[in-house]
Amino acid sequence: MPSEEVTDEHMAEVTGISLNTVRRTLYLLYEHRLAVYRRKRDPDSGWLTYLWQLCPQNIDKALESEARRLLRKLDSRLSYEKDHVFYACVNGCARLVFDDASEANFICPFCQGSLEYMENNRIVQTIEQQMKAIKANL
């Protein structure tokens, strides 16, 4: 991406990426304050042209914000894993909490296989490791 302003059409043409994908990406960058745009009206046609420019100086703040959002989601998932007992299909097609498994008479609702107790210590450990790694990078 050049340092000067460019149109979304120009970016699509140069990169070979569809215009819709380029626009979606630019709006995502804009939402995270990683890009800004300026509208310019064509005096002859009246059409609006959007001129885009990246803001790389905001990337550290955006990454930190995303890391904190991910930590919140992982913390929520960790609580869920610790607070529930799980049963899994012997064929691997479902994993249900105890209440749902008992309502289904410990029979898989998808393949009719049996549901057996599933230890989730490994899942809990993995989530904790991911959270520790993210916190270390903050």
Q: Around Cβ 8, how many Cβ atoms within 10 Å? A: 19
Tell me yes or no: is domain 6-54 CATH 1.20.58.340.
no
CA 73 to chain centre: 10
Q: Report which secondary-structure segment, H or E, holds 48.
A: strand 48-54
CA–CA distance, 52 with 11 (Å, rounded to integer): 10
CA–CA distance, 2 with 17 (Å, rounded to integer): 16
Span 28-46, pLDDT tens digits? 999 999 999 999 998 999 9
Number of residues written out for the chain = 138
Span 48-90, pLDDT tens digits? 999 999 998 999 999 999 999 999 999 999 999 999 999 999 9
DSSP per-residue letters across 61-99 = HHHHHHHHHHHHHHHHHHHHHHH--EEEETTSS-EEEHH
Task: List helix spans (H) across the chain.
Answer: 8-15, 19-31, 59-83, 98-103, 121-137
Two tokens, residue 24: 């979606």
Q: What is the pLDDT of residue 138?
A: 84
Two tokens, residue 5: 């302003």
Confidence of residue 1 (pLDDT cuts 50, 70, 90): low
